[in-house]
Amino acid sequence: MQLVLLVFLLGFIGLSCQKPAAVTPDSLTGVWVEKSGRRDTLIFNPSFQGNTLPNTLTVNRGKEINAGGYALPKIGSGIYQYELRGKRIYVQNGLSSRYQGEEYALERIGDELRVENFFELGFNQPATAVRTLIQLR
């Protein structure tokens, strides 16, 4: 009985002490959904006509009705170019005429991706929080 309890505790401690994993474009490829609200979706390196678009990120935040009554994508939705820089991600809005991008913190721990929320207030604004995303398989 004590041996079973000891093995269980060691296993639990091992799982709870997961260290951040190296983040690479290959490890990011796919669909990531916000863990809590499941409203925001990030798609890294999406497929277009059978080809992967490297260093491309699509942010889907849903739609909202504007003052004119039209359903439009929420602010922050769109296509971005990205570059990994250690524990940071440099993003540049692909639909903007502005060439300057911004860097935000990025960390992967186990099956979760934690990223500073660059998309909630629109591109080029200070991060408002860290969002936790899970990968769809």
Q: What is the DSSP letter of 128?
A: -
Residue 126 confidence (pLDDT): 67
Residue 102 confidence (pLDDT): 87
Domain boundaries, the chain: 20-135
Structure tokens at 5: 């309890």
Residue 5 confidence (pLDDT): 41
| Statement: 20-135 belongs to CATH 2.60.40.10 | no
Angstrom distance (rounded) from CA 51 to CA 133: 24
Q: Along the 137 residues of the chain, how does pLDDT read in single tens digits?
A: 554 443 444 444 444 456 677 889 999 999 999 998 788 899 999 998 989 999 999 999 999 999 999 999 988 899 999 999 999 999 998 876 667 788 999 999 988 999 998 877 665 566 778 899 999 97
* pTM to 2 decimal places: 0.76
Burial of 82 (0-12, 13-18, 19+ CB in 10 A): buried
Angstrom distance (rounded) from CA 92 to CA 89: 10
Angstrom distance (rounded) from CA 134 to CA 31: 8
